[in-house]
Amino acid sequence: MSITHENNLPANFHDLVRARCSVRSYKRDAPVPDDVLKRILDAGRLAPSGKNLQPWTFIVASSPEMQEKIYPCYSRDWIQGAPHLLIVKGTRSGAWHRAKDGYSSLETDLAIAMDHMILAAAAEGVGSCWIAAFDRDLLYQALDLTENEEIFAFTPLGYATDDYQPVPKTRKTLEEITVFL
Ligand SMILES: Cc1cc2nc3c(=O)[nH]c(=O)nc-3n(C[C@H](O)[C@H](O)[C@H](O)COP(=O)(O)O)c2cc1C
């Protein structure tokens, strides 16, 4: 991992994608400052979407009351260390549908927005971890969602504890996953 910026932040895009990692240990008492949070959310706002319909809402759950409702949806205790939970919610009827076969871009749109925000967080030195292994029914109850709404992922946001050791990146090689034709 190459971090060359004077503040220990990734200096360019390639450093950023190498530096980003799933953080599963957070400083509970170190909330992300509002201006940093806004820049992260703005990266999601600027994400591309099918027909530019932007079928999303970004929910930032920072209050202990709201977080207490969400915790039962995801069984890992470490999640409770994060000062914020960022949930990307979509509206089925608000997404682009391909006329010929009805394909909906909703999941793609929401994934791109989430990825923009996760990378923006990494650029700010803020940790995140894509969470999809949640109990969908419990999350729907907690957030009072309708059947027109969908959540594919949420992420904690916060600063990693000083002793946090990222899991080393294990990836297939480019040769394994690339075909040049
Ligand atoms: C679609 C998706 C779902 C994931 N769900 C979870 C999850 O529920 N819990 C978790 O701890 N990590 C989850 N992850 C994180 C992956 O385990 C992690 O990205 C992967 O192991 C690579 O590690 P890295 O993010 O540190 O590079 C998920 C990642 C993706 C893309």
- What is the per-residue pLDDT across 106-160, written as a single tens digit (0 to 9) for each? 999 999 999 999 999 999 999 999 999 999 999 999 999 999 999 999 999 999 9
CA atoms within 13 A on the CB side of 152: 15
CB of 133 shorter than 6 A to ligand 1:
yes
Question: Which residue is associated with the tokens 């929401």?
Answer: 110
Domain spanning 13-159 has what CATH number? 3.40.109.10
Name the band, by pLDDT with cuts 50, 70 and 90, for residue 2: very low
pLDDT in tens, 50-101: 999 999 999 999 999 999 999 999 999 999 999 999 999 999 999 999 999 9
What is the CA(104)–ligand 1 centre distance, in A? 24
Query: Would you say the CB of residue 167 lies under 6 angstroms from ligand 1?
Result: yes
- Rounded to two decimals, the pTM is 0.95
Q: Across the chain, what does the average pLDDT equal?
A: 95
- The label of the residue with tokens 């201006």 reads 35
Q: 49 with 101: CB under 8 angstroms? A: no
Cα separation values, 13 from 4, 36, 53, 57, 123, Å: 12, 18, 27, 26, 9
% of the chain residues with pLDDT over 90: 93
Taking the CA of residue 134 as reference, the ligand 1 atom at the shortest distance is 8
130 CA → ligand 1 middle, Å: 5
Dist. CA 110 → ligand 1 center (Å): 16
131 ligand 1 Cβ < 6 A: yes
Q: Which pairs from 136-143 meet CB under 8 Å and 24+ separation?
A: 138/72, 138/73, 139/70, 139/73, 142/69, 142/70, 142/72, 142/73, 143/59, 143/69, 143/70, 143/87, 143/89
Give the residue whose CA is nearest to atom 1 of ligand 1: 132
Task: Name which residue sits closest to atom 6 of ligand 1, judged by CA.
Answer: 131
Ligand 1 center from residue 19 Cα (angstroms): 15
